Structure 1
Amino acid sequence: MRLSITAAVLWTSVASATILQNGQVRPNNYPSTAIPIISSYNSSWHSYPPSAPELSYKGRWDDKYISWWSAPGLKFGFQAEQVAISFGNYTSDGVLVAYRLDGQDWMLTNVTASSTQLLVTPSTAGYNLTTPINATQTLELRVTNWAYGVQIQCVHLSGGAAKLIKIPNYTRNMELIGDSLSAGQYATYEGISSYSWGLMYGLGNVEFSITAFPGDCLHEGRCYDPAGIPDWDFAAHPAADITVINLGTNDNNTSNNVTATQFYNSYINLINEIHTRWPQSQIIILSLWSGFAQVGNTWQQGSGFLNEIQNVVKYFNNGSLNERGECPSCFVYYFNTTGIIEHNDIGPLYHPTDVGHVKLASHLMQYVKLTFGWIFEQTGPEVQHETLYWNDQPDY
């Protein structure tokens, strides 16, 4: 696993699965927001290029303003009556995006290349509920898929003295490095249903990036490694205060022939690379749940590379305990996933269900709170969109 990811295959994914909820099919015919292309000569609109300093890009974007990996986003403040975004010709066809105004619930719409989407009007939920009226409001957009997503071409505002406003970044930063399990593959809304999203958005007031894609291996050159991705410029982004790593499930696949020694050495090399670039980052590495097998009359969780992962933690932390049993110089932490996810939390395609993702995210949130003293600062806006799994029928 290289941090400066370079690579020749572009995967796209659009959330389109049929979901049954209380005996009803959950609709996925999301409202169309498409409008005619806004001409640069239309005096009723103020248009801003993707390089406008007021625009804050979240997660992984390249120098063509193309989004990559899981749940990348765009966020900005504005004073206007209407907000529209034009998407460039590198946008995946029909990709599902989530967007919201201030702290309102997420809304969903499918976008495509060379289109313009009208996302905010005076009838949008939450419009002008700020105090005072006409104060700055915030629009946040997230790409739901875990691969090549959208290209931002232009942001448009209309109405009165319309203007963009820069929203300050949060002071806390997190990075999560993983494979399809962390990217949200096969979850209802993919990236924004993943435990990665639930963990970092659930903490609240955290800037985050999810560098996770299906097929990734920790050991170099053994598994699918997508190509065509520009190197990540670490110097252009704040260092992660906490880095979470969940890698090894693909390495543990016997068809990839990764040995225990190769896996162990690759893990040490990855952590050394991270700590060289981000010397203050605290690193959490997850044990692998590696699926479930039926044993006798019950189920048993797998444990791929269990000793190797624990030995990686020992490698970095041995000799660091003081006389009180504390480890002031430790920066690598082991998170044991055993018992959090049960066999029915894994879907037919070997990935966590939405419930499995929520359970894992909740435990990780508590672990971060107890280990590092981070308090939960999410105070109202929804995190896992449309995860409504309670029964509301009196007769069934």
Structure 2
Amino acid sequence: MADSAANGVEISNEDPLIFYHGRWDRAPGTWWASSGLKLNIDGLQSLTLRLGENTTSPSVPVGFSLDYEPFVTVNISTGSNSIPLKDISSTKRNEKSSVLRITSQGWQDNRMNLESIVLNSGAKLLPYTPSKLAFQVIGDSLSAGQYLEQGVLQAWPALTAEFFKSEVNVNAQPGAALTVLSALPASSS
């Protein structure tokens, strides 16, 4: 539910129109690479993210994409973070509504604790319609984007999702491995 804020419209982290993806806890917070949210916003001119004290200090790198353009990295921290929308290009910027994608891109030290979102006065949050195609990736360093400049945003799961214009959830961290155990019958001799 949106409330009036001094400089715009404040959106609670519990607003049902926020489309969360990835792994989030009840705070809501996430430390998983590729977790984030998507917002469909009518009349977007300014955006501030308010993050809680459980956000990685001094900052966490987060990718922002407006209208499905390439992601731009912005380092955000505990407190109010005014997002420089002028630096996040969009060829569709003249349209009335915009889709804003926000993704935690780091593979380590990337905890983001979302308290609220503040939009400019007159902006309105609309329902986001997810793609009918979605990928779930469980992986390790290659999936989490370890050592890549934009982290998970340059790793194969995100590139695959961009190619297919799909949704993606990545559960990955360096050093993790998927092991399949099976019980074999004991041999008789």
User: Deviation digits for residues 66-105 of structure 1, max 9, x if unmatched?
Assistant: 1232211211011232122111111112211110211333
The aligned runs of 1:200-349 (5 Å cut-off) are 200-204=161-165, 206-219=166-179, 263-265=180-182
Report the counterpart of residue 151 of structure 1 in structure 2: 113
TM-score (norm. length: structure 2) = 0.82
Q: What's the CA shift for 1:44?
A: 3.4
The aligned runs of 1:99-114 (5 Å cut-off) are 99-114=64-79
Higher strand share: 2
Q: What's the CA shift for 1:128?
A: 6.5
Check whether the contact 2:4–2:10 (CA below 8 A) recurs between aligned residues.
no
Q: Supply the distance in 2 between the matched residues of 1:102 and 1:218 (Cα, whole angstroms).
A: 35
Q: Unaligned stretches of 5+ in structure 1?
A: 1-39, 220-262, 267-396
Q: What's the CA shift for 1:211?
A: 0.8
Check whether the contact 2:65–2:88 (CA below 8 A) recurs between aligned residues.
no
The one of 41, 45, 53 equivalent to 2:16 is: 53
| Structure 1 residues 90 and 47, CA gap change in structure 2 (3 angstroms) | same
Q: Supply the distance in 1 between the matched residues of 2:97 and 2:21 (Cα, whole angstroms).
A: 20
Amino acid at match of 1:155: I
RMSD: 2.4
Q: Supply the distance in 2 between the matched residues of 1:63 and 1:46 (Cα, whole angstroms).
A: 23
Q: Supply the distance in 2 between the matched residues of 1:185 and 1:124 (Cα, whole angstroms).
A: 24
Q: Supply the distance in 2 between the matched residues of 1:202 and 1:215 (Cα, whole angstroms).
A: 27
Aligned residue pairs, count: 178
| Structure 1 residues 84 and 128, CA gap change in structure 2 (3 angstroms) | farther
Report the counterpart of residue 41 of structure 2 in structure 1: 78
2:88 maps to 1:141: no
2:96 maps to 1:165: no
Check whether the contact 1:59–1:73 (CA below 8 A) recurs between aligned residues.
yes
Q: What's the CA shift for 1:41?
A: 7.5
Check whether the contact 1:84–1:119 (CA below 8 A) recurs between aligned residues.
no
| Structure 1 residues 62 and 119, CA gap change in structure 2 (3 angstroms) | farther
The one of 160, 174, 189 equivalent to 1:199 is: 160
The residue matched to 1:182 in structure 2 has which SS?
helix
Q: Supply the distance in 2 between the matched residues of 1:176 and 1:151 (Cα, whole angstroms).
A: 23
Q: What's the CA shift for 1:48?
A: 0.9
Check whether the contact 1:88–1:115 (CA below 8 A) recurs between aligned residues.
no
Q: What's the CA shift for 1:49?
A: 0.8
The residue matched to 1:164 in structure 2 has which SS?
strand
**Identity over aligned residues, as a percent?**
22
The residue matched to 2:34 in structure 1 has which SS?
strand
Q: What's the CA shift for 1:264?
A: 4.5
Q: What's the CA shift for 1:181?
A: 2.4
* Larger of the two Rg values belongs to structure: 1
Q: What's the CA shift for 1:46?
A: 0.8
| Structure 1 residues 83 and 215, CA gap change in structure 2 (3 angstroms) | same
Q: Supply the distance in 1 between the matched residues of 2:14 and 2:7 (Cα, whole angstroms).
A: 21
Q: Supply the distance in 2 between the matched residues of 1:72 and 1:101 (Cα, whole angstroms).
A: 17
Q: What's the CA shift for 1:183?
A: 1.2
Q: Supply the distance in 2 between the matched residues of 1:194 and 1:54 (Cα, whole angstroms).
A: 28
| Structure 1 residues 47 and 212, CA gap change in structure 2 (3 angstroms) | same
